[in-house]
A and B are shown apart, each in its own frame.
Chain A
Amino acid sequence: MTDTTSATVSDTTVTTSTVAGGGEPTVEPAAVVFDVADLDVYYGAFRAVRNVDLKVRQNEITAFIGPSGCGKSTVLRCFDRMNDLIDGCRVEGQLLYHGVDLYDSRIDPVEVRKRVGMVFQKPNPFPKSIYDNVAFGPRLAGKKGDLDETVERALRRAALWDEVKDRLRKSAMGLSGGQQQRLCIARAIAIDPEVVLMDEPCSALDPIATARIEDLMQEIKTDYTIIIVTHNMQQAARVSDRTAFFTTEVNEQSDTRTGLVVEFDETEKIFSNPADERTENYVTGRFG
């Protein structure tokens, strides 16, 4: 754990310094939102993921791909400190959010989750009205009074407004799977997060609903930084700017498996000419 900061995540003034200066005439890479270095995640004594190194950049879509059990979702959940909710889960190494140590003891996880929204694999709307689903986050954050504008803006941003504007007070459970997932995206962005985490957001959806979500991701990335875990490699190739390929290795003594990042690069590179043979074998689907 780094111990460099007295700031909390709620200090909005903290910005990255990694792209400042340099004097390079080429296009500067986007600012670093999450800077992960040598990150290990343990469940009790078991090391689930080891030595993760990657930088998540602003207004980009970063995809995590890899076989089941390789730690993609485990690492994803570090970014909004959801792993805190799991007994015995421990995170070691560096995870900086705009230069601030996300696992510093002074950081309030609730504050983190205001900045970092999450969309899950299965659409999980609350058994409430469409309106109340979207208004839930802002209300929880203490927003009082008229939320109509907030709800409409979030639903428009999630490309759902035109489909639901006449039935906002009806139950969200009556929506189709694809609409429910877009509602969950609306709910995630209603609290104005900076980052949206998506854990296999399309795996329960048909191709048309999937295409809608993918279009939506492209559209909202101008405002948000997105990290997506996906088993659909074509999806990672289509939507993401950078891709991290995770895999597992067997631990000789205990016969358990630990996840690791084999390669992290621009998506185009990963799917056209990956540097590591393990990446090549995975993306070409040749070995399983």
Chain B
Amino acid sequence: MSPVDSGSEGTPLRLNFTAELEQLRLQVEMMGVLVDHNLERMREVLRSGDFALAAEALRADDDIDAMNVSLTERCYEVLAREGPVASDLRLVVSVIRMTSELERIGDLALRVVKLAPAHDVLASNPRTFDILQTMADEAVDHFRMALRAWSGADLDLATGLATAPRTMDLHNEQLMQALVGLEGPDAVAVALRTLVAGQALERINDHAAILGARLRYLLTGDPDHLTAEVR
């Protein structure tokens, strides 16, 4: 997605502006990588209940939040100073929306991370614990796909994300069935925590699909892709 398109005639102008837009695009990618690290930590904390790693994830989320604020401010400044239009405007608006999605994904990852003290409870039912880990794998995979699509301005990948079959719904359905069938004195404790983790993972997956839709809007300008929201 080089702003200097091939086939353009004339002298390149507004070089600082062009550089700033490229910086914004790269910063979103960097923020995405930070979120990706935390998703990886989330997956490991879910598997192992590692307290130290959970604390690391909490600290890293502060960096993600700070990056969201600073990138949003940079976007407002570009809007105020440069008056971007057409694909430039779409980029700046997309950056604002992408960073808030990324920040949200970071928060959802923390919901799972914060269940570390309840790891033994979560893991006590092998069936539901197994489904949770499958959901985590799928959410992380989808997020990585979104990140790859963004860094390569890959419309096919973005479209694939936004239109992928909703296998997560299937996992969620299996999880609910398993939870409803739980018995014994720990049933409520297991069900509550598993439900919290399951919902967070499902929503991370939804937000990854929305990242795909945001990118489709940026690349095509088709307003249909503006309306994608988490339902």
Q: Do A and B bind each other?
A: yes
Contact B8 A286 (CB under 8 A): yes
Q: Is the CB of A284 within 8 A of B86?
A: yes
A279–B4 Cα distance when bound, in Å, is 14
The complex places the Cα of A286 from the Cα of B12 at a distance, in Å, of: 6
* Given A287-B12, A287-B13, A272 and B83 contact (CB-CB distance below 8 Å): no
- A216 lies within 8 A of chain B by Cβ: no
A281: chain B residues at CB < 8 Å are 5, 8-10
- How many residues of chain A have a CB within 8 Å of chain B? 18
Is there a chain B Cβ closer than 8 Å to A24's Cβ? no
Contact B11 A287 (CB under 8 A): yes
**In the complex, what's the smallest C-beta–C-beta distance from B125 to chain A, in angstroms?**
51
The contact string, 1 if C-beta is below 8 Å from chain A, for chain B 138-168, is: 0000000000000000000000000000000
Contacts of A288 in B (CB 8 A): 10-11, 13
Name the distance in Å between A236's Cβ and chain B's nearest Cβ: 10
B87 at the interface (CB under 8 A from A): yes
CA distance A273 to B26 in the complex (A): 23
B177 to chain A, nearest CB (A): 46
The A-B contact count (CB < 8 A) is 56
A139 to chain B, nearest CB (A): 44
**What residue in chain A is nearest B83 (Cβ atoms)?**
A234
| Complex interface residues of chain B between 160 and 186 (CB less than 8 A to chain A) | none
The residue of chain B having its C-beta at the shortest distance from the C-beta of A288 within the complex is B13
Chain A positions 246 through 288: 1 when the CB is less than 8 Å from some CB of chain B, otherwise 0 = 0000000000000000000000000111100111110111111
Q: Which of B13, B18, B83, B87 contacts A280 (CB 8 A)?
A: B87
Q: Is B88 positioned at the interface, with any CB of A under 8 Å from its CB?
A: yes
User: Does A175 make an interface contact (CB < 8 A)?
Assistant: no
> A272-B221, A273-B221 are contacts. A280–B86 as well, Cβ < 8 Å?
yes
Tell me the A residues contacting B by CB distance below 8 Å: 233-234, 237, 271-274, 277-281, 283-288
**Can you add 13 more A-B contacts, CB < 8 Å, to A233-B85, A274-B86, A284-B88?**
A271-B85, A272-B89, A273-B87, A273-B221, A280-B87, A283-B85, A284-B84, A286-B12, A287-B8, A287-B9, A287-B10, A287-B13, A288-B10
Binding site for A on B (CB under 8 A): 3-5, 7-14, 17-18, 83-90, 221-222
Q: Can you pick out 10 interface pairs between chain A and chain B where the beta carbons lie within 8 Å of each other?
A: A272-B86, A273-B86, A274-B86, A280-B5, A284-B88, A286-B4, A286-B14, A287-B9, A287-B10, A288-B10
